[in-house]
């Protein structure tokens, strides 16, 4: 996997993970909140049902109150009238009243007359709920509610029902009425479906937003990568062009030095030797011959020096003969002798593991740094550091000189800094320069210390 793909993946993966976690937590919280809301909704609906039942029971009790208060009729007649009245009282499609004595014998049941006269004290619904016994106990405690399963008259199906029971104290009868809860559960199912649909829609919206965000991140990343790739290509082209120009310039300089320097010296030496040979053949005096030979010898010595200088410019012989540390020591000794400057060095690296390209880069880098410090810095102290860290060489040059303004583009684009940067970048290194007026200059470079292809 390419580095750009890894960076893009590292950008998208946390976004997906965070979104998934937030969505999951939001889904859990939404479900919990929905459950709580449904419970509150159910509680309120049942509370309304209970209040309606209590009102219906109060109305029924008001209807029979005149019979109970009439002392002119016999007790048996009053019982018969109460039974008849309660059996005729209905409301809604499935609302009716029932009556039991204190022993559980049914006295009134409009929808199921077969129960009249039966003792239902031990009667249980399909869930084993002794409903008659519990209704009588609730009524004897001053009135109360009880939930159970009972057959709904309009459908003939077993449905959950809530009833309110109260006592007719004169005869210790329990009378009551109830409402079926299937309509409440239907309402709850509708509310739950709406809530679940809203949660699902919210989740879909979140997924849509995340998908769009991921697509935008990918497109933005691809756009940035494409832009950076173009910039890198352009920078590489510029670097290659500058390197080619540098090579051409070096070759021209090398050609010019060979032609104008060594070539002329050798021609002059050849001419002097020819003159000495002619003088010798003519029998000239020894002093004339000696003069020609001395001049030829002087020319040869100059040619040797010129060749050594050219060779040193191409690659210092000290690097091959003594190694990098010794070559740097010689370079620094000459610098100190010229400038009388205080130089502090911290060299901690294994020169046997350094490639030839890195050696020459470091040497030229320090050579250029010393030249800049000597010409421009007006410094009294210089610190040079070369450290080996995890297969990389970290270089730093710090002086306490006058420094310069980093906003001055002419200085930043100068030949010295540009050459140092280009040399470092040719072997995929990193170069940086920091400076401020009156605060010195710091040059840093990070180089590979493994053998690579020769680009210098």
Strands 95-101 and 173-180: antiparallel
Please report which confidence band the pLDDT of residue 247 belongs to, taking 50, 70 and 90 as the band edges: low
| pLDDT of 360 | 83
| Least confident segment among 159-173, 213-227, 387-401, 404-418 | 404-418
Please report which confidence band the pLDDT of residue 449 belongs to, taking 50, 70 and 90 as the band edges: low
Strands 381-389 and 342-348: parallel
pLDDT in tens, 251-278: 777 666 666 677 777 878 888 788 888 8
pLDDT in tens, 331-344: 899 899 988 999 99
| pLDDT of 403 | 87
Among 423, 417, 419, 425, which residue's Cα sits nearest to residue 442?
417
Helix 264-282 and helix 286-314, axial crossing angle in degrees, nearest 10: 160
Report the distance separating Cα 145 and Cα 158, nearest Å. 19
| pLDDT of 99 | 94
| pLDDT of 455 | 44
Contact (CB, 8 A) for 431 and 421: yes
Please report which confidence band the pLDDT of residue 146 belongs to, taking 50, 70 and 90 as the band edges: very high
- In this structure, the chain runs to a length of 456
| Least confident segment among 58-62, 169-173, 305-309, 390-394 | 305-309
pLDDT in tens, 178-200: 988 888 888 888 888 888 888 78
pLDDT beyond 80 at 129: yes
pLDDT in tens, 95-114: 899 999 999 999 999 888 88
pLDDT in tens, 27-71: 788 788 888 888 888 888 888 888 888 888 888 888 888 888 888
Report the distance separating Cα 301 and Cα 265, nearest Å. 9
| pLDDT of 134 | 93
pLDDT beyond 90 at 152: no
Averaged confidence pLDDT in the chain:
82
Across 158-162, 180-184, 350-354, the highest mean pLDDT is recorded for: 158-162
Strands 95-101 and 430-435: unpaired
Q: With helix as H, strand as E and coil as C, how does 408-450 read? A: CHHHHCCHHHHHHHHHHHHCCCEEEEEECCCCCEEEEEEEECC
Q: What is the mean pLDDT of residues 289-303?
A: 82
């Amino acid at each position: 996997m390419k580095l750009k793909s890894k960076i893009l993946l590292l950008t998208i993966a946390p976004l997906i993970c965070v979104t998934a976690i937030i969505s999951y937590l939001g889904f859990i919280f939404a479900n919990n909140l929905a459950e709580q809301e449904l419970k509150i909704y159910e509680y309120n609906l049942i509370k309304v049902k209970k209040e309606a039942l209590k009102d219906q029971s109060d109305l029924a009790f008001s209807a029979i109150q005149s019979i109970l208060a009439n002392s002119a009729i016999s007790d048996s007649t009053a019982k018969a009238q109460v039974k008849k009245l309660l059996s005729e009282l209905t409301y809604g499609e499935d609302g009716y009243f029932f009556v039991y004595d204190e022993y559980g014998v049914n006295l009134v049941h409009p929808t199921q007359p077969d129960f009249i006269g039966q003792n239902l004290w031990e009667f249980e619904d399909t869930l084993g709920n002794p409903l008659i016994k519990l209704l009588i106990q609730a009524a004897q405690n001053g009135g109360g509610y009880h939930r159970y399963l009972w057959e709904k008259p309009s459908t003939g199906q077993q449905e959950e029902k809530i009833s309110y029971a109260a006592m007719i104290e004169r005869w210790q009868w329990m009378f009551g009425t109830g409402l079926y809860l299937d309509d409440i559960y239907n309402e709850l199912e509708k509310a739950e479906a709406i809530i679940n649909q809203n949660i699902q829609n919210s989740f879909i919206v979140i997924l849509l937003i995340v998908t769009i965000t991921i697509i935008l991140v990918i497109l933005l990343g691809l756009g940035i990568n494409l832009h950076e790739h173009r910039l890198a290509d352009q920078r590489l082209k510029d670097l290659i062009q500058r390197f080619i120009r540098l090579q051409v310039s070096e070759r021209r300089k090398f050609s010019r030095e060979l032609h104008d320097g060594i070539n002329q010296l050798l021609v002059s030496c050849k001419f002097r030797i020819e003159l000495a040979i002619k003088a010798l053949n003519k029998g000239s005096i020894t002093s004339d011959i000696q003069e020609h030979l001395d001049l030829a010898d002087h020319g040869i010595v100059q040619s040797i020096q010129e060749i050594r200088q050219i060779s040193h410019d191409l690659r210092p012989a000290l690097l091959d003969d003594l190694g990098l540390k010794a070559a740097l020591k010689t370079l620094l000794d000459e610098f100190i002798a010229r400038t009388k400057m205080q130089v502090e060095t911290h060299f901690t690296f294994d020169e046997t593991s350094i490639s030839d390209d890195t050696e020459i880069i470091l040497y030229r880098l320090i050579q250029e740094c010393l030249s800049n410090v000597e010409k421009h810095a007006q410094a009294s102290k210089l610190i040079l550091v070369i450290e080996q860290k995890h297969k990389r060489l970290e270089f730093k040059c710090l002086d306490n000189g006058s420094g310069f303004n980093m906003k001055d583009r002419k200085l930043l684009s100068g030949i010295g800094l540009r050459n140092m940067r280009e040399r470092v970048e040719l072997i995929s290194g990193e170069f940086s320069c920091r400076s401020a007026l009156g605060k010195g200059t710091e040059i840093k470079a990070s180089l590979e210390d493994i053998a690579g292809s020769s680009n210098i």
